[in-house]
Every structure is written in structure tokens, then in C-alpha cells.
Chain A
Amino acid sequence: GALVYQYPRRTICKSGTSMRMECQAVGFQATSVAWYRQSPQKTFELIALSTVNSAIKYEQNFTQEKFPISHPNLSFSSMTVLNAYLEDRGLYLCGARSGANSDYTFGSGTRLLVI
């Protein structure tokens, strides 16, 4: 079956530092990878969508300068939170799918705590 492994599961970083999270797709080709953030008591906000052979599209309020994403092949993606501050805390999820007309499979999330 299709699985997405995401790591680390949780991380704590000091304010102003950066942290990187990774996603590994197993059992399918991750043509599209979407990164979301769930802030405390909120729903999932789309940060950016990466599709192979297309430019990464960032949503309003999210930038490449703050959340650089790498999607080098059909099984791996990473995202870094640069200069993390309190408002960046939350659960970050990556979802991947093999293409249009297929469902997204999500990783278990990376919970970021900023101190």
C-alpha cells in the first residue's frame, strides 16, 4: 500500500534557529507533494504544493525564503522552517500522491515547538 513516512515526529528548536523535516513516499511515486501546517486549535493551511516538472507554488503568507522545499525525486521531499519563531509552532504535515485522480496519503506529521 501507499505510505508516507515523515520525520522527525517532533522537534524543539530555539527561537531564530531553523529546522528541517523530511518525507519519504513508499509504494507509489510522489508526483505531487503538499506541505501543510496545523497551528494550535486550527485547521490545515496549505504552505506550498510541489509537482514534478513544475515550479513549487507557495500560498499567500508563505514564502520560499521562509519555507524552502526540495522535491528532488519521486519518493522524497523536505521542507525547512527558517528562523523559526513562536508563530511557526504547530503540526507540519506532508501529503503525497501519484497524480491527478488519486488521493493524498499523509505522513504522521512533524510537531514543531519553538522556545
Chain B
Amino acid sequence: GDKVKQSPSALSLQEGTNSALRCNFSIAATTVQWFLQNPRGSLINLFYLVPGTKENGRLKSTFNSKESYSTLHIRDAQLEDSGTYFCAAEAGGYKVVFGSGTRLLVSP
């Protein structure tokens, strides 16, 4: 089964609203990264987390290793936030496993 389950698979938001993306892990994740894939395919690094919370502008991410999940909160969504968001978890051995992605569309 999926080692990193990401939800929702797709999300539509109106500009200015808030939402949260989630990843659940069936592996013993030690670190988590969140990325935004832009339309050209490039992965933009958003967060790198050990257990805990980080915030950057309108984005905030939490990684709870005991309960095996991570969340990415988007506040005051803007049009440029549209894209596909991926979480990726490392479970030791340097191997990083990606979730299936959340396609986000922010509309006016």
C-alpha cells in the first residue's frame, strides 16, 4: 500500500481563503519535506521538517512523528499558490518517499 498517503488529491480554493493539506505515513518517518511543483515541473522546496512546526509567510507546516502525519496550512490563498503540492518523507537509509500530490487551484 501507499507508504505516504496525501489528501486531498485535488482542491479548489477561492482567493483569500484558508486550507490544509495532509500526509499520513505508514512508515516511521523521521523527516518530511513539502514541495510545490510549478507548471514547468520544477520542485520548489517549501519546508524541511523534523518533528515540529515551521512557518514561512502564509504557509505553516507541522510534522507529528508520533502520530505519523504532516500538514501544510495555506492562509489567505493567492492565485500564484496554484500548483501541485507534494510531501516526501524519509524513513532512514537516505530514502525519501513521495506522496501522490495535491493539485491546488486558486481562483478569483
Contacts and interface: CB of A to CB of B under 8 A. Distances in A.
A105 B45 contact: yes
A24 to B, nearest CB: 15
5 contacts: A38-B41, A43-B99, A46-B96, A101-B31, A111-B41
Question: Nearest 5 pairs between A and B by C-beta?
Answer: A103-B48, A44-B98, A106-B43, A108-B42, A43-B100
B98 A51 contact: no
Contact-size category for B: 20 to 34
A36 B98 contact: yes
Contacts, number: 50
Interface string B42-80: 110100101000000000000000000000000000000
Nearest to A45: B98
Nearest to A36: B98
Contacts of B45: 103-106
